[in-house]
Structure 1
Amino acid sequence: MFTEKISPRFSETDVLGHINNTVLPIWFEAARVPIFKFFTPDLNPHDWKLIIAKVEVSFVGELFYGHEVEIKTSVEHIGSSSFVVRQEAWQQGTCCAVGKTVLVRYDFNNKCSKKLDEDEKTALAAHLFASE
């Protein structure tokens, strides 16, 4: 599992004083960088190997400005050419949001999915989600 700490910005709050729901997918994407490096170690966008097939966020609590947020990133499922990244946003000891993103290993030249190789599967498997 990877973890990243985020300090919410005042501009990320909504009129109700919560972190706006549009912010979580951005935070989750930033916290997926270690996963991206399994495929493109230098993060060169001209050598990118992944596309997003699906993103979902379930809000299970409120997030607020003024308190650090910890994003926990793990791998929930590994398929033949795709995998699911599970992410949780924790604030003050409470899980406030759970995100799941389906990423596909992609061949941009041929415009099609590509099977994950064994090294990629091994790297992903080292971070499989373990329910507590």
Structure 2
Amino acid sequence: MTDDKGQGLRLEDFAGQAYDKLRYGDTDRQGHVNNAVYATFLETGRVELIFKADARLLEEGFSFVLAKLDINYIAEVLWPGTVEIGTRVTKVGRSSVTMEQAVFQNGKLCASAETVVVHFDQTTRKSHAFSQAQRAKLESWMQAGQA
């Protein structure tokens, strides 16, 4: 993380940038977006980075499984509107990748997260090492603006 709870992060700091439209059903009795919905926002950010049509990362028969999701809630997200999600790679392991993510609304940082996903062989149901090409693509996403 950039610092404690990701303060000072900007959407422009992230290689992957996505957005989600807020739904009324995302809100809770306090009138803000429920904390559980943040995991869905972060999923949108990861999926849009990993499954880009013009930069295919996964081969047939493989997927990513979520191994860790650590969210720091910083500010409320309010309906109606949208959120922007930033995603970047911070570490590439043998078969796992660690990502730093952030959720913004109207330019304000609302949450930061550390996410770990594992490259998964759907036939053996076990982790599978990245190829050199996959590793190079993931490492290119460690810098902002490379996605």
Please name the residue that 1:85 is paired with. Answer: 99
Number of paired residues? 126
Amino acid of the structure 1 residue aligned with 2:135: K
Stretches of structure 2 that go unaligned for 5 or more consecutive residues are 1-14
| Aligned residue number for residue 124 of structure 1 | 138
Partner of 2:135: helix, strand, or coil? Answer: helix
Aligned pairs (5 A) from 1:26-41: 26-37=40-51, 38-40=56-58
Runs of 5+ consecutive residues of structure 1 not aligned to the other structure: none
Q: Counterparts of 1:39 and 1:65 in 2: how far apart (Å)?
A: 34
CA drift at 1:20 = 0.4
User: 4+ runs of 1 displaced by more than 4 Å?
Assistant: none
Structure 1 length normalisation: TM-score? 0.84
Question: Which stretch of the first structure deviates more once superposed, 47-56 or 7-16?
Answer: 47-56
Q: Is the 8 A contact 2:18 2:48 kept in 1?
A: no
| Partner residue in 1 for 2:30 | 16
Please tell me the root mean square deviation across aligned C-alpha atoms, in Å: 1.9
| Deviation, structure 1 residue 129 | 5.2
CA distance in 1, matches of 2:93, 2:87: 18
Deviations 1:61-82 (A, max 9, x none): 1111123211111112111111
Aligned sequence identity (%)? 27
Q: Deviations over 1:40-97 (max 9, x none)?
A: 37xx7xx332221111211011111123211111112111111112211011221101
CA distance in 2, matches of 1:107, 1:7: 32
Q: Does the residue aligned with 1:63 lie in a helix, a strand or coil?
A: coil
| SS of equivalent residue, structure 1 residue 39 | coil
> What amino acid is aligned across from residue 39 of structure 1 in structure 2?
L
Q: More relative contact order in 1 or in 2 (CA 8 Å, sep 6+)?
A: 2
Q: Which residue of 1 aligns with 2:78?
A: 64
Distance 2:16 2:73 in 1: 20
Contact 2:20 2:44 (8 Å CA) reproduced: no
Equivalent position to 1:106, from 105, 108, 120: 120
